[in-house]
Amino acid sequence: MSDSRPHFSLPRRLVFAAVLCTMAFTATAQDAAKFPGKPLTVVVPQAAGGANDAIARVLAQKLSEQLGQPVVVDNRPGAGGNVGTAYTAKTKADGYTLLVTADSAQVINPWLYKSTGFDPVKDFEPVAPLATAGYVLVAHPSFPAKNMAELIAVAKASPGKYSIASAGNGTLNHLIGEMLQKAAGIELQHIPYKGSAAAATDVVGGQVPLSVQSLPSSIAFIKAGKLKVLGVVNEKRVAALPDAPTMGETLKGFGQTPWYGMFAPAGTPPAVVALLQAEVAKALDHKDVIDKLANVGCEPFKGTSAQLGTLVKDDLARWHRVVQDTGAKVD
């Protein structure tokens, strides 16, 4: 009796492709199981001495202890973080080259630059959020204002007389300064530097009177009395400076809390991303990491890869509106 059921045969090419996919998946799983088998590199797209650099070095040390492999910090500053970020996007997607970056490079730069050299969503796998940092508006001790209300008064009395230093064109420091001017109705002259540390040094030296600074870049100068705080940028007062008022206490609705996160190139195996996320969460629970972050005005920011991905998309939309409202642009 003949078999009347229809017979289906898969084309040889399709069968061959399926076999290759299975082999590739197996190889990827095996690679992830052996991860890490060599040193890791953490790219920081900002200059040494800033908040991002401080956070990266604290985490790199702890991750090296946990993973049993060296974790090397590689500073690649330039174009507000675009240089190092674009570089990382093009590296091999195996988990051995990671990006630790400030939120500004991922969610602000796409709206400030005609071309960043990367897509913050398509070119990266979010690994984990790392920390938030305190940001402050600081002044040289001789500046004729000791708080936000007095700053606004003296700036309005002499439009364009006073200058404000930033970590560079298109950096978060720069944009916050632009937001301040719009919100307060004042005019300041923007002076871009190559990194937060250089900007802070010149304010301490009296070459420039004002600057928006991360606490990692400025806390030592503040404690030594070489800089005075006019206002805290964050929505809430920061633990490192509990007596310093926020800028929002004078300018209603003003406030930003910068965050920092770890990303891997798009296509990094999910198992590797999951392992790195778990190791970051473990590191952020260590008291020595918490204490080291606190010493530079930062706080741990724990979350999942998915949560970081959602944060990036939400903040891209939010900062698009901010950039449009302020009219900020890269010189």
Equal fold, 39-132+258-326 vs 135-249: yes
pLDDT (0 to 100) of residue 10: 52
Provide the residue type at 13 as one letter. Answer: R
Q: What fold characterizes domain 135-249?
A: D-Maltodextrin-Binding Protein; domain 2 (3.40.190)
pLDDT (0 to 100) of residue 8: 43
DSSP code for 160: T
**Tally of CB atoms within 10 A around 326:** 17
Residues contacting residue 248 through CB under 8 Å, at least 6 positions apart: 235, 254, 255
Residue with tokens 């100068």: 221
- Is 226 strand, coil or helix? coil
User: What string of pLDDT tens digits covers the 331 residues of the chain?
Assistant: 444 444 545 556 555 555 555 555 554 555 567 899 999 999 999 888 888 999 999 999 999 999 999 999 999 998 889 999 999 999 999 999 999 999 989 999 999 998 999 999 999 999 999 999 899 999 999 999 999 999 999 999 999 999 999 988 777 888 899 999 999 999 999 999 988 889 999 999 999 999 999 898 899 999 999 999 999 999 999 988 999 999 999 999 999 889 999 999 999 999 999 999 999 999 999 999 999 999 888 999 999 999 999 999 999 998 998 888 777 777 5
Provide the residue type at 161 as one letter. Answer: K
Contact 310, 83 (CB under 8 A): no
Helix axes 196-204, 215-223, angle to 10 degrees: 20
Token code pair at residue 212: 């928006």
pLDDT (0 to 100) of residue 20: 54
Burial (CB count <10 Å: 0-12, 13-18, 19+), residue 236: exposed
pLDDT (0 to 100) of residue 2: 47
DSSP code for 246: B
In the chain, count H helices and then E strands.
12, 11
Give me the residue spans of the domains in the chain: 39-132+258-326, 135-249
Write down the CATH number for the domain with range 39-132+258-326: 3.40.190.150
Contact 139, 200 (CB under 8 A): no
From the list 40, 61, 54, 110, the residue with the least C-alpha distance to 82 is: 110
